[in-house]
Amino acid sequence: MTREDGRTPDQLRPITITRNWLDHAQGSCLVEFGRTRVLCAASASEGVPRWRKGSGLGWVTAEYAMLPQATHERSPRESVKGKVGGRTHEISRLVGRSLRAVIDYGALGENTIALDCDVLQADGGTRTAAITGAYVALADAVAHLGRAGALTGDALTGSVAAVSVGIIDGTPMLDLPYVEDVRAETDMNVVMTGDGRFVEVQGTAEGAPFDKGELDALLELAGKGCADLTALQREALAR
Amino acid sequence: MTREDGRTPDQLRPITITRNWLDHAQGSCLVEFGRTRVLCAASASEGVPRWRKGSGLGWVTAEYAMLPQATHERSPRESVKGKVGGRTHEISRLVGRSLRAVIDYGALGENTIALDCDVLQADGGTRTAAITGAYVALADAVAHLGRAGALTGDALTGSVAAVSVGIIDGTPMLDLPYVEDVRAETDMNVVMTGDGRFVEVQGTAEGAPFDKGELDALLELAGKGCADLTALQREALAR
Amino acid sequence: MTREDGRTPDQLRPITITRNWLDHAQGSCLVEFGRTRVLCAASASEGVPRWRKGSGLGWVTAEYAMLPQATHERSPRESVKGKVGGRTHEISRLVGRSLRAVIDYGALGENTIALDCDVLQADGGTRTAAITGAYVALADAVAHLGRAGALTGDALTGSVAAVSVGIIDGTPMLDLPYVEDVRAETDMNVVMTGDGRFVEVQGTAEGAPFDKGELDALLELAGKGCADLTALQREALAR
Amino acid sequence: MTREDGRTPDQLRPITITRNWLDHAQGSCLVEFGRTRVLCAASASEGVPRWRKGSGLGWVTAEYAMLPQATHERSPRESVKGKVGGRTHEISRLVGRSLRAVIDYGALGENTIALDCDVLQADGGTRTAAITGAYVALADAVAHLGRAGALTGDALTGSVAAVSVGIIDGTPMLDLPYVEDVRAETDMNVVMTGDGRFVEVQGTAEGAPFDKGELDALLELAGKGCADLTALQREALAR
Amino acid sequence: MTREDGRTPDQLRPITITRNWLDHAQGSCLVEFGRTRVLCAASASEGVPRWRKGSGLGWVTAEYAMLPQATHERSPRESVKGKVGGRTHEISRLVGRSLRAVIDYGALGENTIALDCDVLQADGGTRTAAITGAYVALADAVAHLGRAGALTGDALTGSVAAVSVGIIDGTPMLDLPYVEDVRAETDMNVVMTGDGRFVEVQGTAEGAPFDKGELDALLELAGKGCADLTALQREALAR
Amino acid sequence: MTREDGRTPDQLRPITITRNWLDHAQGSCLVEFGRTRVLCAASASEGVPRWRKGSGLGWVTAEYAMLPQATHERSPRESVKGKVGGRTHEISRLVGRSLRAVIDYGALGENTIALDCDVLQADGGTRTAAITGAYVALADAVAHLGRAGALTGDALTGSVAAVSVGIIDGTPMLDLPYVEDVRAETDMNVVMTGDGRFVEVQGTAEGAPFDKGELDALLELAGKGCADLTALQREALAR
């Protein structure tokens, strides 16, 4: 079974992580999963949102968005429409939750890290690329705070990476580009820590409902993909 | 191990489904999971959204919302704030996807069913109660269309129910009320068909990341809960 | 002259006031005028809006809204449209003014009571049902503040009830359901105190302008209706 | 009993109606009630809103607004706030209803007249000045349509004028400026036809509830005021 | 070469500046450039925006808007649309920048002057009329602050006036009304100080791009126009 | 006189134009003026806005926006704020007008080209970089339409480029980065055609008003800069 782009079912697309793509943000990278291209930036600032003031705890928040010409057909700008769409909201919340899973709020102290994941080009898997890239930007922003003496301990308790998996014509496949994504019967996004545990599992029956066996096969594939991504993140951060 | 409200870990809260709670909607019910109370209504209308016109296929859409005084502290109205929040968007999309999983668009023809799930009182598990109740309203709206001769076949391909599960102090538990929900390390919402397959699996590590064993235990518990809910739905629709 | 539903012109529809329908609000009731069903809730909180701080005076505010499937044809959600409509605004303001007429701000102290009137089902007279029910919720919220020692006197200076009246085929009639409301030449909403004085009189010529004689006849009918509603409120609060 | 500005209780402020204040609108006037100054314009256009198409009936709609510096303290612009306030909505609806009371939709044919009432300076009674001036603009726009051969009969069935009345220190008074308005115990806006019948009666107990005797006294005073305004409208239109 | 309205190419339309057109604002005028009519108001208040607090410096801000019936075809209200349009934004910013060019923030102290320029009737050149009139309102508001002892020096460092110029059929012309404006190949708005220096130069090629010779000719014409307007402003302020 | 970054007053920053940076858009480039980095994309689609239908003429529209982390301090997203800011509106309009100056609408036929200029990193001159890059994207999109046989002639009548100039400490300088921009007494953005004529001239006195001599010096400098940029555009399009 070969795929349109020549990959085996359990193979990632070519992954590139270009660190420090921006000059102003405390951490940033341009992450590429094949033709999917997401600019991830992390800005660290003193203080926390009002509801958290005086707690001694930090906060991490995330916003995901897509440029109008990232997609095949130009899509209207959310700023011009005057509201954030449901899909954008949903993914922003997912990115935020995923990254917060590896943050020690106490060690972070009353500082906030804002993650921005802007999709410059979309070809499937934008939310998982965003999470994978955001981790790299986050790690750099945390390191920046550490060098500035703003932390009281190790604020990063682990690493986090994400990948999409799906069943196409009965075969579980890793890291779906757009052409595969629209054909998938079941679609799953899996966020995992560097030590192989789950942070988020979001499986959706796009066509027919799926059973436990299919779920298990997808999770195993995702486990392999996240392990590969974890190695690439580590490499990028070591440079 | 007993719970604050006396239930065993694998026991649902008292569930009530009061069908036809409204006079105007083509299908409706007030569904109660303990003190969580959601008014579900389905209105069927001729025609489909513009992007689906001429396809011969129907559509099902859903909106979830919460009354300001449903929660412990009154929360501001989204209409007054002028925008729908991220959580509302995310749940509305989940409810819509879940119900569409049991719809045969061709048999539905160019008709739209709009589901409204309004939380009158919230005590945990509002999204899963909404899905469980929305199915009952949907079934009645489909039957209404059938009686009106608007369908070209059986538009409902199965039933759908949902429940929340979570791990509290290391124990997997079924159907969490608010007091348990805030304490859960891992929280999962599972949507299943009446024949025991998965429609949506959404697991989130609120505290520590979780492993495959924990995931499996939660899915098994959810399977039992959804089976119980399916029986209650069937009973309500038989009345 | 008998009406479609068998009532005499000066007879109310069956009225039900189910107190404490909600668990979290400090006062609440489900009020029913025939098939019109409004959930009224009052939440009391410390503090007042910014423009009133330091005055020693309290505040009462109200919001009225309608669920999308309350009406015959589903109406779009104001939160999704991103703005509150003119009718909603107008009625919210009317409910607030009406209830404030029986509040002693000084005795209330710097506390705010927020009233929410959500129409679950609409069959004419939703605004008058909302006012009538909101008074019961308000009375319970004031009593709650009293028991908590937050008042410096009797914050409630009287009771308030409201009813719609209209002229149909030349006959003045009390408490119009939807089918009568659309046929009324003149439509009036009257808000009165328990001792029979006027708080609000809003008369509108829907068809032909009306004269003083017609106005007087309508006001007399409204006086009778409000007296009946006052008795029912008292009964509900005595339970 | 004399008033601060030297008037007797049943006397209007100096009223000025400057017709055709604008060049583009089909009807317009600058109406002044003392220092209250409202620019009223009527634009006639072919066609009706979507929900009225094919009915053969016309439509009249109105929008009321206030310039930021019309009031003592500058008030923020609603366009900048991004939403129309409740008071604005309420008054726009009142103006529209009031003018529609003297329109024969069939004679108007499928044409729409849009009324704009912009308060340039506010000193009490802006909504009643708006209605009084809007009638003059409307009459000119109807005449314009008539000359253009767009009407099938007399689209204007009468005239309409409006005035505020209130009780101050126990005395009913006509046409309240701001300084009196804030002191009024009861405040009423009355819209009447040229032949002395009621189109709208909106009475509000600002301080204490009012009784039937007070209501009658206020209505009588309003009747006199509206008759005077009707004469002034006729005079302006005769010029 | 004579123009449709009989003017020579370098002649302004009849200009009228009616000072103190409003009673509440600290400065105001109705400015007319032919049939273009703009109500300019300046309100002075203590305090500055948050980002300027503690600086000891004042602030001047401006908002430009157009009444719906100012134009030939009624244009929808921005408050009703729920957003300020691009053109409105652009002109508001231009008016603010232009007036701030003659303000000494230190002498103004921590006071804010808000300028509102509302176009009551539009016939070309509304933005330049707005700036010209706003200066008169600003001067009165500054004088008001001076009399109130709120200034620490001369807050007004000069005067400012503005005019539009354009090339029509190859001829540079001053102060274009609407009929000329739509025909202009090049359109320029020029804001100048009373002593003949430039504050803003905004030239736009509506038809063909323009060269340096045309630019110079337009600037010279604008210089003459602004000098004439400066004299009229001085006269108005001397009254 | 040397500048902080070593340039002479009449020297551009290093300019890079990376064509076809995106896969989906019909034309695109990443344009860099020093550290300012703007992603420009042009999408061509059949049809024109409603107000232009049936005219046989095409349309070109533009939107400019800035990513939140493009600036030194992260700025909030306009989609989240729910409205487009004045600066964004103003620049979007400028970009659209500038590119339309070299379009022959008739030759374009009823097709629309939408330009998106998204600032990925900001260091002064973002609007002029946007125009310069947008021209390259536009040229490619027009060529694409030409190859598809959708044009009836040469839709592009010339080229367009833009640059900022300003006076710093009395010296006119070309292409200001952020550190110079904030210090400039006068700031001017100039848009020119490839044959050296003006499309837009926008000069603003940030500090003191400027005279004709300063204006002339700035325009000459801009002329040189635009000529250099025109050469770079031609080179990029020749590759």
Spatial distance between the Cα atoms of E123 and E36, rounded to a whole number of angstroms: 5
Spatial distance between the Cα atoms of D124 and D36, rounded to a whole number of angstroms: 7
The two three-digit tokens of residue D234, written as one number:
């006729």
Q: Pairing mode, if any, of strands A111-121 and A36-46? A: antiparallel
Would you call E217 an interface residue with chain F, using a CB distance cutoff of 8 Å?
A: no
Nearest to A120 among F39, F69, F80 (CB): F39
For the cut 80, the answer to whether the pLDDT of residue D2 exceeds it is: no
D8 alpha carbon, distance to own chain's centre: 23
Would you call E202 an interface residue with chain F, using a CB distance cutoff of 8 Å?
A: yes
Spatial distance between the Cα atoms of F139 and F41, rounded to a whole number of angstroms: 11
SS3 C153: coil
Closest residue of F to A41, CA-based?
A: F69
CB contact at 8 A, B41 and B130: no
Please state the pTM of the whole predicted model. 0.94
The CA-based angle D142-D28-D14, given to 5 degrees, is 120
Local confidence band at B207 (pLDDT 50, 70, 90 cut-offs): confident
Residue segments in chain E with a per-residue pLDDT below the cut of 70? 1
Question: In angstroms, what CA-CA distances link C106 with C55, C62, C143?
Answer: 9, 19, 16
In the prediction, which pLDDT does F1 show? Answer: 62
Nearest to B79 among C23, C24, C79 (CB): C79
Q: Pairing mode, if any, of strands C27-33 and C15-19? A: antiparallel
Side-chain half-sphere CA neighbours of E201 within 13 A: 29
- CB crowding F76-111: b at 16 or more within 10 Å, else e: ebbbbebbbbbebbbbbbbbbbbbbbbbbbebbbbb
The CA-based angle C59-C60-C61, given to 5 degrees, is 120
What integer best gives the mean pLDDT of chain F? Answer: 96
Please state, for a pLDDT cut of 70, what percent of chain D lies above it: 100
Number of neighbouring beta carbons within 10 Å of residue F51: 7
Spatial distance between the Cα atoms of D41 and E168, rounded to a whole number of angstroms: 33
Q: Pairing mode, if any, of strands B160-168 and A59-66? A: unpaired
The two three-digit tokens of residue B71, written as one number:
């929660």
Please state, for a pLDDT cut of 90, what percent of chain C lies above it: 95
Spatial distance between the Cα atoms of C68 and B39, rounded to a whole number of angstroms: 11
The two three-digit tokens of residue B156, written as one number:
């409902």
- Please choose, from the candidates B200, B114, B213, B207, the residue with its C-alpha nearest in 3D space to the C-alpha of residue B164: B200
Q: Do F204 and E97 touch (CB under 8 A)?
A: yes
Nearest to B116 among C39, C43, C69 (CB): C69
CB contact at 8 A, A198 and B209: yes
The two three-digit tokens of residue C92, written as one number:
């919210």
Nearest to E41 among D65, D69, D84 (CB): D69
Spatial distance between the Cα atoms of A128 and A98, rounded to a whole number of angstroms: 10
Size of interface D-E (CB pairs under 8 A): 90
Number of neighbouring beta carbons within 10 Å of residue E213: 8
What integer best gives the mean pLDDT of chain D? Answer: 96
Q: In what order do the strands lie in the sheet with F15-19?
A: F15-19, F27-33, F36-46, F111-121, F59-66
- Residue ranges for the known binding site of B are 87, 125-127
Which H or E run includes E145? helix E126-147
- Residue ranges for the known binding site of D for phosphate are 87, 125-127
CB contact at 8 A, F155 and F107: yes
Tell me which DSSP letter residue B198 carries: E
Number of H helices, E strands in chain D: 6, 9
Read off φ and ψ for residue C172, nearest 5 degrees.
-70, 135
Q: Let me know if F1 is exposed, middle or buried by CB neighbors in 10 A (0-12, 13-18, 19+).
A: exposed
Contacts of E87 (CB under 8 A, 6+ apart): F93
Alpha helices in D101-211 (DSSP H): 105-108, 126-147, 178-181
Spatial distance between the Cα atoms of B85 and C175, rounded to a whole number of angstroms: 38
For the cut 90, the answer to whether the pLDDT of residue B155 exceeds it is: yes
Question: What is this model's ipTM?
Answer: 0.95
Which B positions 87-146 lie with beta carbon below 8 A of chain C?
A: 88, 114, 116, 118, 120-121, 123
In the prediction, which pLDDT does B208 show? Answer: 86
The two three-digit tokens of residue A44, written as one number:
């660290």
How far the first Cα of chain C sits from its last, in Å, is: 36
Q: What is the pLDDT of residues D107-130, one digit of tens each?
A: 999 999 999 999 999 999 999 999
In the prediction, which pLDDT does E207 show? Answer: 78
SS3 A134: helix
What integer best gives the mean pLDDT of chain B? Answer: 96
- Residue ranges for the known binding site of B for phosphate are 87, 125-127
Would you call B18 an interface residue with chain C, using a CB distance cutoff of 8 Å?
A: no
Name the minimum distance, in Å, from the CA of A164 to any CA of chain F: 22
For the cut 80, the answer to whether the pLDDT of residue B50 exceeds it is: yes
For the cut 90, the answer to whether the pLDDT of residue D1 exceeds it is: no
Name the minimum distance, in Å, from the CA of A113 to any CA of chain B: 19
Spatial distance between the Cα atoms of B138 and B237, rounded to a whole number of angstroms: 11
Q: Which of A114-118, D167-171, D173-177 has the lowest mean pLDDT?
A: D167-171
Place of tokens 């009639």: C173
Q: Do A24 and F121 touch (CB under 8 A)?
A: yes
In the prediction, which pLDDT does C70 show? Answer: 97
Q: To probe the interface with C, which of D202, D224, D226 has the most C CB atoms within 10 Å?
A: D202
Question: In angstroms, what CA-CA distances link F178 with D68, F89, F182?
Answer: 36, 21, 6
Read off φ and ψ for residue F42, nearest 5 degrees.
-125, 125
- CB crowding E25-62: b at 16 or more within 10 Å, else e: bbbbbbbbbbbbbbbbbbbbeeebeeeeeeeebbbbbb
- Please choose, from the candidates C43, C9, C8, C40, the residue with its C-alpha nearest in 3D space to the C-alpha of residue C25: C43
CB contact at 8 A, F17 and F233: yes
What domains appear along chain B, each with residue ranges and CATH number? Answer: 15-238 (3.30.230.70)
The set of chains that have 3 or more CB pairs under 8 A with B is: A, C
Q: What is the pLDDT of residues F194-216, one digit of tens each?
A: 999 999 999 999 778 999 999 99
Q: What is the pLDDT of residues B58-88, one digit of tens each?
A: 999 999 999 999 999 999 999 999 999 999 9
Would you call E53 an interface residue with chain D, using a CB distance cutoff of 8 Å?
A: no
- Residue ranges for the known binding site of A for phosphate are 87, 125-127
Q: Do F86 and E92 touch (CB under 8 A)?
A: yes
Strand partners, F187: F166, F204
Q: Do D204 and C97 touch (CB under 8 A)?
A: yes
Strand partners, A167: A172, A186
CB contact at 8 A, C211 and D197: yes
Nearest to F84 among A23, A28, A80 (CB): A80
Would you call E213 an interface residue with chain F, using a CB distance cutoff of 8 Å?
A: no
Mean pLDDT by 10 residues, chain A (239 residues): 89 98 97 98 96 96 98 95 94 97 97 98 98 98 97 96 95 96 93 97 90 96 98 97
Read off φ and ψ for residue D227, nearest 5 degrees.
-65, -45
Local confidence band at B53 (pLDDT 50, 70, 90 cut-offs): very high
Q: Do F45 and A74 touch (CB under 8 A)?
A: yes
Which residues of chain B neighbour A200 with C-beta distances below 8 Å?
A: 202-205
In the prediction, which pLDDT does C2 show? Answer: 75
Q: What is the 3-state secondary structure (H, E, C) of chain F?
A: CCCCCCCCCCCCCCEEEEECCCCCCCEEEEEEECCEEEEEEEEEEECCCHHHCCCCCCEEEEEEEECHHHCCCCCCCHHHHCCCCHHHHHHHHHHHHHHHCCECHHHHCCEEEEEEEEEEECCCCHHHHHHHHHHHHHHHHHHHHHHCCCCCCCCECCCEEEEEEEEECCEEEECCCHHHHCCCCEEEEEEEECCCCEEEEEEEECCCCECHHHHHHHHHHHHHHHHHHHHHHHHHHHC
Tell me which DSSP letter residue B13 carries: P
Spatial distance between the Cα atoms of D156 and D137, rounded to a whole number of angstroms: 12
In the prediction, which pLDDT does E116 show? Answer: 98
Question: In angstroms, what CA-CA distances link C38 with B23, B81, C21, C162, F88?
Answer: 14, 22, 11, 14, 45
Q: Do E24 and D69 touch (CB under 8 A)?
A: yes
Q: Do B24 and C69 touch (CB under 8 A)?
A: yes
Number of neighbouring beta carbons within 10 Å of residue C150: 17
What integer best gives the mean pLDDT of chain C? Answer: 96
In the prediction, which pLDDT does D206 show? Answer: 79
